[in-house]
Amino acid sequence: MASIARLPDIVANKISAGEVVQRPASAVKELIENSIDSGASRITVIIKDAGRQLIQIIDNGCGMESDDVLLSVERFATSKITGVDDLDALRTLGFRGEALASISSVSHFELKTRKAGNPLGILLKSDGGVVETPQPAQCETGTSISVRNLFFNVPARRKFLKSNATEFKHIHETVKAFVLSYPEIEWRMMNDDEELFHFRTPDARERLSHFYGEGFGESLIEVTEENDYMTIGGYLGKPGMMVRQKYDQYFFINRRLIQNRMLVQAVQQAYGELLEERQSPFALLFLGLDPSLVDVNVHPAKLEVRFEDEKSIRSMVYPVVKRAVQTADFSPEALASTPSASENSREGGLPDASSRKLSYSSFSGKASTTGDLYKNYREGAFSAPAAAPSLFDSSPETSLFGGSRPAPMVQESLLTPSADEPGIADEQNPIAPDKEPKIWQLHNKYIICQIKTGLMIIDQHVAHERVLYERAIEVMNEAAPNSQQLLFPQKIDLKPWQYEVYEEVSGELYRLGFNIRPFGGMSVMIEGVPPDVRDGAEATILQDMIAEYQENAAKLKLEKRDNLAKSYSCRNAIMTGQKLGVDEMRMLIDRLFATRMPYVCPHGRPVIIRLSLGELDRMFGRT
């Protein structure tokens, strides 16, 4: 007698349900996908007891004929595909033909459906996979599916469900993803007889602001890119929106929600030093490409996909995100008060202050560009309009990296101010009223300047650090070092660990502009340095760079060139306590805004903070 037996359909369906319906949120996802595929323009989601008691999805889609109703709860019965070749041209979210069969086998299942023009609809019931004969019924056009007592006949699966709060969180995240990806659909959600939302208009930013807090949607950076291979669209968040988990990153391929490590890493790397450890930016990105170039038939849950050419996808996504990040105004705006804990803890609310990179809001008002902020500064800091250098001018006098020779750094004027150059105006040396700059130095540490919409505060050390860092990277990448020869070369005796680090980075030091040669034993001779190294500090800066490099190597996973550039900029930047003249502050600000990322230093600290007139008015009770 044969020991192998074919499993009954009801058993096979229960086994299949273990893959397709892992928790209540899985059932919600499958049912919503069917509603979207039916062409629905209105979808209602009703949840009770976190999906244990009831999951109901109501849509106004095309509905089903009586012949299709029975087939809909059979395994591998679908209207989405007819042959294997259709998998290469999928335009629907569903295609496997397993969802309803799996869900109905582990619940008390009820389906009502009616096609437009039919006088009556059809009612189908299934009790743990035992299907009753369909009956005529009164119902609206479309389909309504009720799933009650999920996993009632699979106690092992029901036992392993998490708490109601956890299961509902997964349901809410699932519905939220669909609400954001299909703004043309009217969405309504009820939880335990309470309406959570009802979106009637196709305004994606309105929906984002509902889920994440007032003003959130308006502050996001919009991304749009299109070529012959792929389209990219969506929204990216500012640094203050960053959180320590990836729930708020959504990636869609042809409007299908997916999970893909490559896309997560591409976005993460595009933000670069804007991110602190374990932080992730908000991302809502839609990728459109030929269905034949992506395989969605990887896992029953249909969340994982495989790309035919993953490298090409990454090489397109990364620069688009990088460009959007580099051109956006990421300067945070200080607020008079922060949201209360109760406001932050509500479902779908903003992450609490401890989970943000910055303790102040960075998303009040619409998103703007770096050019907008720089223009705001130029128009607000001077009574009479000053000729602003173009951020992209190629002349050496106005561009940080322009010309065949790198532009001299602000460091030179900061350390050797001219005796006959006026500094900050005083009673004996006033500045003409029509050219009076609205710019000051606070405690020889911060630069405060009037801008058109309020105040801009700049940390002078990290601002100069950003300028030096980008200059160092540019010089090393171009392999065109600009070294100033010392009139009197300096001999340095290094410790064994210092000499070991020096040997490791000697090639990059030369590319940066350090002309150093071994001088026997553990000694080296410095014969030339980059033009922005302070006179008389050559030996100290080299030793400090070596120490910083080793510390970074021990704590951070940095590429050698990036580590050296960060060590160089940190140790060579102007320091807190150093007094600057007006022209020096102006030069530093101009060159800061000529960098690719003026808002954070190479280590991730903020460089600029804005304080708007509106916030000042609120602080003084003028509103």
Report the amino acid identity of residue 43.
Answer: I
| Placement of tokens 């009164």 in the chain | 138
Question: 481 by DSSP, 3-state: which?
Answer: coil
For residue 337, tell me if it sits in a domain: no
For residue 539, tell me if it sits in a domain: yes
Read off the pLDDT of residues 592-614 as tens digits, 9 standing for 90 and up: 988 888 888 888 788 998 888 88
* CA dist., res. 150 & res. 132, Å (int): 18
Q: What is the 3-state secondary structure (H, E, C) of 359-391?
A: CCCCCCCCCCEHHHHHHHHHHHHECCCCCCCCC
> Does 389 have pLDDT greater than 70?
no
Read off the pLDDT of residues 221-256 as tens digits, 9 standing for 90 and up: 899 999 989 999 999 987 655 554 556 889 999 998
What CATH number is attached to the domain comprising 193?
Answer: 3.30.565.10
Q: Which two tokens stand for residue 192?
A: 């335990």
* CA dist., res. 106 & res. 15, Å (int): 10
What CATH number is attached to the domain comprising 313?
Answer: 3.30.230.10
- The number of domains in the chain is 3
Residues 326 and 385 in one domain: no
Domain boundary among 172, 201, 230: 201
Domain boundary among 149, 182, 201: 201
CB count within 10 Å of CB 371 equals 14
> Does 260 have pLDDT greater than 60?
yes
Question: 252 by DSSP, 3-state: which?
Answer: strand
Beta strands in 350-483 (DSSP E): 439-442, 446-451, 454-459
For residue 400, tell me if it sits in a domain: yes
Residues 163 and 30 in one domain: yes
For residue 2, tell me if it sits in a domain: no
pLDDT tier at 393, thresholds 50, 70, 90: very low
| Placement of tokens 């919503």 in the chain | 32
Candidate ranges 34-48, 392-406, 429-443, 550-564; pick with highest mean pLDDT: 34-48
> Does 349 have pLDDT greater than 60?
no
* CA dist., res. 435 & res. 368, Å (int): 28
Residues 609 and 539 in one domain: yes
Residues 16 and 79 in one domain: yes
* CA dist., res. 14 & res. 157, Å (int): 11
Report the amino acid identity of residue 414.
Answer: L
Residue 7: predicted pLDDT:
63
Residues 526 and 566 in one domain: yes
Query: Cα 110 vs. chain centroid, distance in angstroms?
Result: 41
Residue 87: predicted pLDDT:
56
Residues 285 and 434 in one domain: no
For residue 108, tell me if it sits in a domain: yes
For residue 123, tell me if it sits in a domain: yes
Question: 96 by DSSP, 3-state: which?
Answer: coil
* CA dist., res. 288 & res. 544, Å (int): 49
What CATH number is attached to the domain comprising 603?
Answer: 3.30.1370.100
Domain boundary among 201, 219, 246: 201
**Poorest-pLDDT segment among 102-116, 125-139, 168-182, 434-448:** 434-448
Stronger pLDDT, 96 or 522, i.e. the higher one: 522
pLDDT tier at 82, thresholds 50, 70, 90: low
Query: Cα 34 vs. chain centroid, distance in angstroms?
Result: 30
Residues 158 and 256 in one domain: no
For residue 361, tell me if it sits in a domain: no
> Does 474 have pLDDT greater than 80?
yes
What percent of the chain clears pLDDT 70, i.e. is strictly above it?
75
Is the pTM above the cut of 0.85? no
* CA dist., res. 487 & res. 11, Å (int): 88
For residue 338, tell me if it sits in a domain: no
Residues 300 and 418 in one domain: no
> Does 428 have pLDDT greater than 50?
no
Domain range for 312 = 209-332+349-355
Residues 31 and 161 in one domain: yes
Residues 213 and 197 in one domain: no
> Does 321 have pLDDT greater than 70?
yes
Residues 81 and 133 in one domain: yes
Residues 573 and 437 in one domain: yes
